[in-house]
Amino acid sequence: MARSLRILVIEDDREIARALLLRLKAVGHDPFAMHEGGSGLAAAIATIPDVIILDLRLPDMDGFAVLQQLQQHDIARVIPVIIVSANVAERAKREAMLLGAHCFIEKPYDFRKLLAAIDRAASTQLPGAVNTAAAS
Amino acid sequence: MDVFSQDILVALAANLALLALALIAYNQITAFLGKLPGRFGRWFAGLAFGLAAILSMSVPIAVEPGVLVDGRAVPIGLAALFGGPLAAAAAAVLAAIYRLTLGGAGEIAGLIGIVLAALSGILVAKLARQNGSGLAYAHLLLLGILLVFSQLVATLFLPGSDLAYTVITAATAPEAVALPLGTLFLGTLLIQERRRRDAEAAVIESERRFHTITDNLPGVVYQSLLTVGGEISYPFFSAPVQELFGVTAEEAMADASKILNTVHVDDFDRLTASIKESAQQLSVWDHEYRVVRKDGPFRWMHAKAVPHRRENGDVMWDGIITDETERKIAEMSLGVANQLLTSTNQRLSTMYETAHHFVDNVAHEFRTPLTVIKEFASIMEEGLVGEMNAEQSDYLRVICARVDDLNGLVNDMLDLSRLEAGLIGVSRRECVIPDIVGRVESILERRAKASGVDFAVEIEAGLPALFCDPEKIGRVLINLGINAFKYGGEKGGVRLWARRSGNPREIVIGVTDRGPGIPAEKLEMIFERFKQAGGLRDTAKGFGLGLSIVRELADLNLGEIAVESVVGEGTTFSLTLPVFDPPAIVARYIAKLARERTSSFYVSDIRISVSGAVDAAAAADCDAFLQQQVKREDLLMRLGPDSWILLTVDKRDADLRSKAERLRDGLVGHAAEIADGALAVEAQPVGVWRLPHQSEALIARFRALRDMALARRSA
C-alpha cells in the first residue's frame, strides 16, 4: 500500500457502502460515502478526492450522468473514476468507458482487484485522460 | 320525226312521269315497311315493278289497233337491277298477264317485248354484279339501249310486215329517246333512294353498336358540359350510370343535380375545384371521389375525362367513370395491414428491449445482495472485525465460494435466456490462451481453496493464437472447473490445461479431475447430450445448467466439447478451438452451418476497411462496434488492424448492399464519436458462395487473404 488515498464512494446500497468503507479503512485509505448521484457529484466537486468509486444505478441521477457532469468540471474531471456496478451489460461498460471512466469492475467484486484498480488509477492520474484500459 | 312520232314521244314522257310517281310511291312504301327480309323483299319488288308496268300499259298509245307503245319495258328492266332476277320474272309475269287481258294484234309482240325487257335487266344486273363496284349510271344507260333494241326486236313479231314497218317507223325514234332517258332518270331515282336508305341504316347500326358498347362497358361513358355561366349539365350518360350512381341515364341527362347530389359531401368541394381547374387549363380531368347511393354504403369512383373548349367558350368533356371501390378497399386494407405490421414490429422491438432490460434487471437484483453477503463474509474471514478461529474462517470461505457459484449461476441464467432469445452476442477475435485463462484463474483458485481441492494450471509453451470470444470461453472454463470441484476434486485435485492437438489448426483446453470418474453408460449419455445441439431445456432432465451453457458457448465459438472418463481415475472435459488461421476458421464455420442445414445454402462476404486518422484504440473501437453488429450465424474476421471480412448467410443483392451500407454508416457515425480525424470507411459486398459445393473455393479465397495479410504484416 503506497499511500493513503482520499476515496469518495458513491453507492446507494448502504450495506455495500459500509462494507467498502470498512475494508478501505482497514487497508489504510481515507474513504467517505455518498448515497445519491447529486450529493456525490457535489462532494466530488467540493472535495476533489483522489479516486471516486461510482455505482451506476443511483436513485436521483445515474452514474452516467454523474460521469458526464464530472467531465464538464475543470478540476473534477481529472479525478479517476472506477465504476463498480451490478449492471454488467457490454453496453453499460462501453458507455462508461466512452464517458471517461477509468475502469469498470463488476459486482460482486473481488476486493483485491478493486484495490489494484484503485492503486493503478491513483498512479496514472492524467488530466482529462480517457483511459481505455479495461479493469479485467 | 313526223307529227305522229312526236305524239308518241310526248305520250312516252307522260308515261314515264307516271312511272316516276309510281316508283316514288314504291320508295315511300318500302321506307315505311323498313328493310324487308331477303326473298320477301324481292317478291315485293317484283310486284311493285310489275304494277308499275301495268300502270304504264294502262295509258298506252295505240299506234295501230291492238298495238300498244308504252314505257312498260323500263320498270321490268329495272326490276332485275333493284330486285334481282326473281323480281324481274315476277314483274314480267304480271305485266304479261295484263298484256294478255288487253289482247289485240300486238299481243305476241308485246309478250316478247316484256320477256326481252326482263332478260335485258337480268343481263345488265349480272354485268353490274360482275363489275363488283355496284350499279353505275353506265349500267342504266346500257339497260336503256338494250330496252330500245328489245322493243325493236319485239316489233318484228307483229303480224304482217306492214304493221311492223309502220310501228317501227313511228315508235323507234321516240323509244330510242325516251327509254334510255327514262331508265336513266328512274334508275337514278332508285339508286339515290337506295343510297340514302343504306346511309340511314349505317347510322342506325353505328348508333346501335355505340349503345351496345357503352351499355356493356364496366363503367360509365359520359359527356359533361360546363357553360361559360358556370352551369354543369350532362348531354350524355351511358346506361350503367344507373348501376354506379343509382340514377337512370335519362334522369341524369335531364337534371345534372341528380348526379351531383350523389357525391359524398366531404368530396364535393374538391370535386368542383378539380373540374374548374381542368376547364381552365384544358387538362385531363382525373379524379377519385366517393358517391353515396340510396341503396347502400358509399362507392369509390374514378373519373377520367378529356376537355375541349367550344366556340362559345363552354367546355365539354368526354370521359369515363369506373367503380374503383374494390381496389380502394384492397388498398386500404393493405394500408391497414402495413400499419398493423409496423405496430407489431414496434411492439416486438419494445418487447425485445423490455426482455433485455428485464434480464439485466433481474441479474442486477441478484448481484447486489450477493455482493453484500460476499463482502461481509470476507470482512469476517479476514478478521477485520475480530479474530476468527480456523473453523470459522473455513466456513466463511465456503460462503464466499458459494456466493461466487451463485453469481456464476446468475450469469448462466442470463446467458441461457439470451441464448434462447437469440440475444447473446459473440465477439470472436484473435486472442491467446493467457487472455482466456488469466481472467478466470483467480476465481477458480479461490473456489478450489474453499473446496479444499488442489488446483493447477498447465499451459503448453508457445501456443499459437486462437480465434474465439475470450470472455465466453472463460465462462466455459469456470463452469467446467466448478463441475470438477463438485464431483471429482476430493482426491487428487483438478488441473486446467491447454495444449496442441494432433491437428495443427486446433488447440485443446481442458479440465481434468482425479475423481471417481463417470460410468460408461452415463458418460455416453452426457456425450450424446453434447452431440445433440438440442434444446437448452434438457437441463430439466438432470443435465446441469452449467454443462448446457458450456455446450452452447462452445458452439458459438466454433468449438467442440468432448468428455473422457475412466472409473476410479478421473474425468476430462475438453474444448477444441480453432487457431487463428482464416481458411481453417472458415472451414469450421462452413461445417457448422452445414450441420444445421439439410440442403445447400449461400454465404456472402462483405469486405470492410477503415483508413485515415486511425490509431490502435480507434481501430479497436471499430472492431468492437462491428462485433456488436454480428449476428449469430455471421462470421466476422479481423484480417488486419483496419480490415475485416464479414461472412453472412444473406444472399440477396439488395440485402447485402443495405447491410454493407448499414455497417459503413454505423462505422462513420461511430468514428465521429471516437476519433477527431475523419475516417474513410469502406464496406463492400464481394461475392456469393453456394455451399457446400463451393466450400473449397471459399476456403482458398481466405487462404489467399491470409497470405496477403501476412505479407503486409511482415513488410
The tens digit of pLDDT for each residue in B2-58 reads 657 777 788 788 878 878 888 788 777 777 776 656 677 778 888 888 888 888 887
B281 interfacial to chain A (CB closer than 8 Å) = no
Farthest CA pair distance, chain B: 180
Contacts of B272 (CB under 8 A, 6+ apart): none
* Per-residue confidence (pLDDT) for residue B544, from 0 to 100: 63
How does DSSP assign B66-118, residue by residue? Answer: TEEE-STHHHHHHHHHHHHHHHHHHHHHHHHHHHHHH-STTHHHHHHHHHHHH
B517 neighbors B565 (Cβ within 8 angstroms): yes
CA distance A98 to chain B (A): 8
CA distance B430 to chain A (A): 17
DSSP letter assigned to residue B465? P
Interface contact flag, A13 B442, Cβ < 8 Å: no
Interface contact flag, A107 B368, Cβ < 8 Å: yes
Predicted confidence (pLDDT) per residue in B462-517, tens digit: 899 999 998 889 989 998 998 888 877 566 789 999 999 888 999 999 999 988 88
Q: Please state the φ and ψ torsions of residue B225, each to the nearest 5 degrees.
A: -130, 130
* Per-residue confidence (pLDDT) for residue B533, from 0 to 100: 45
3-state DSSP assignment of residue B675: coil
Q: Which of B380, B411, B425, B399 is nearest to B624 (CA)?
A: B425
Say if residue B542's pLDDT is above 60: no
* Per-residue confidence (pLDDT) for residue B107, from 0 to 100: 83
Give the side-chain half-sphere CA count within 13 A for B26. 30
Instruction: Please report, in angstroms and rounded to a whole number, the separation of the first and last CA atoms in chain A.
Output: 20
Interface contact flag, A108 B370, Cβ < 8 Å: yes
Predicted confidence (pLDDT) per residue in B246-265, tens digit: 888 899 899 988 888 889 88
Report which of residues B37 and B305 the model is more confident about: B305
How does DSSP assign B218-245, residue by residue? Answer: SSEEEEEEE-TTS-EEEEEE-TTHHHHH
Interface contact flag, A87 B360, Cβ < 8 Å: yes
Interface contact flag, B442 A110, Cβ < 8 Å: yes
B379 vs A19, A89, A106: nearest CB: A19
Long-range interactions of B677-680: CB distance < 8 A, separation 24+? B677/B612, B677/B613, B678/B612, B678/B613, B679/B610, B679/B611, B679/B612, B679/B613, B679/B614, B679/B618, B679/B622, B680/B610, B680/B611, B680/B612
CA distance B370 to chain A (A): 6
Interface contact flag, A23 B376, Cβ < 8 Å: no
CA distance A16 to chain B (A): 6
* Chain A interface mutation, best of B365, B367, B630, highest count of A Cβ atoms under 10 Å: B367
Interface contact flag, A16 B371, Cβ < 8 Å: yes
What Cα–Cα distance (Å) separates residue B90 from each residue in A96, B46, B143, B480, B503?
119, 5, 18, 123, 118
* Per-residue confidence (pLDDT) for residue A135, from 0 to 100: 35
Contacts of B367 in chain A (CB under 8 A): 86, 88, 106-108
* Per-residue confidence (pLDDT) for residue A131, from 0 to 100: 40
* Per-residue confidence (pLDDT) for residue B36, from 0 to 100: 59
Q: Whole-number mean pLDDT of chain B? A: 83
B48 φψ region: left (φ > 0), alpha (ψ -120 to 50), beta (else): alpha
* Per-residue confidence (pLDDT) for residue B318, from 0 to 100: 93
Contacts of B372 in chain A (CB under 8 A): 13, 15-16, 19
Interface contact flag, A19 B376, Cβ < 8 Å: yes
- DSSP H helices, chain A, are 14-26, 37-47, 63-72, 90-98, 111-123
Q: What is the mean pLDDT of residues B417-433?
A: 78
Predicted confidence (pLDDT) per residue in A50-75, tens digit: 999 999 989 889 999 999 999 898 88
CA distance A91 to chain B (A): 10
* Per-residue confidence (pLDDT) for residue B69, from 0 to 100: 79
Interface contact flag, A89 B360, Cβ < 8 Å: yes
Place of cell 375541349: B308
CA distance A41 to chain B (A): 22
- H/E element, B64: strand B61-64
Report the chain A residue with the minimal C-alpha distance to residue B375.
Answer: A19
CA distance B441 to chain A (A): 12
CA distance A59 to chain B (A): 15
Say if residue B319's pLDDT is above 80: yes
Predicted confidence (pLDDT) per residue in B204-219, tens digit: 999 899 888 888 888 8
Interface contact flag, A19 B425, Cβ < 8 Å: no
Give the A window 49-68 contacts with B, CB below 8 Å.
Answer: 57
A10 neighbors A56 (Cβ within 8 angstroms): no
Gyration radius (Cα) of chain B, Å: 56
Interface contact flag, B375 A57, Cβ < 8 Å: no
CA distance A106 to chain B (A): 9
B371 vs A26, A57, A108: nearest CB: A108
What number of other Cβ atoms are within 10 A of residue B28's Cβ? 11
pLDDT band at residue B88, thresholds of 50, 70 and 90? Answer: confident
Instruction: Please report, in angstroms and rounded to a whole number, the separation of the first and last CA atoms in chain B.
Output: 135
B340 interfacial to chain A (CB closer than 8 Å) = no
Q: What is the mean pLDDT of residues B88-113?
A: 86
CA distance A18 to chain B (A): 9
* Cell (9 digits) for B61: 298509245
Say if residue B573's pLDDT is above 50: yes
B372 interfacial to chain A (CB closer than 8 Å) = yes
pLDDT band at residue A136, thresholds of 50, 70 and 90? Answer: very low
Contacts of B469 in chain A (CB under 8 A): none
* Chain A interface mutation, best of B356, B362, B364, highest count of A Cβ atoms under 10 Å: B364
Contacts of B404 in chain A (CB under 8 A): 108
* Chain B interface mutation, best of A88, A94, A97, highest count of B Cβ atoms under 10 Å: A88
Report the chain A residue with the minimal C-alpha distance to residue B381.
Answer: A23
CA distance A129 to chain B (A): 13
A6 interfacial to chain B (CB closer than 8 Å) = no
pLDDT band at residue B139, thresholds of 50, 70 and 90? Answer: confident
* Per-residue confidence (pLDDT) for residue B563, from 0 to 100: 87
In this structure, is the dihedral angle defined by the CA atoms of residues B590, B593, B597 and B600, taken in order, positive or negative?
negative
* Chain A interface mutation, best of B352, B356, B362, B372, highest count of A Cβ atoms under 10 Å: B372
CA distance A63 to A86: 12
* Cell (9 digits) for B454: 488442489
Say if residue B444's pLDDT is above 60: yes
Q: How many CB pairs under 8 A join A and B?
A: 62
Contacts of B425 in chain A (CB under 8 A): 90
A86 vs B368, B382, B439: nearest CB: B368
A109 vs B371, B385, B624: nearest CB: B371
* Per-residue confidence (pLDDT) for residue B534, from 0 to 100: 45
A35 interfacial to chain B (CB closer than 8 Å) = no
* Per-residue confidence (pLDDT) for residue A7, from 0 to 100: 96
How does DSSP assign B13-45, residue by residue? Answer: HHHHHHHHHHHHHHHHHHHHH-SPPHHHHHHHH
Q: What is the mean pLDDT of residues B692-702?
A: 88
Long-range interactions of B347-356: CB distance < 8 A, separation 24+? B352/B421, B352/B423, B355/B417, B355/B421, B355/B423, B356/B423
CA distance B140 to B121: 9
Q: What is the mean pLDDT of residues B85-103?
A: 87
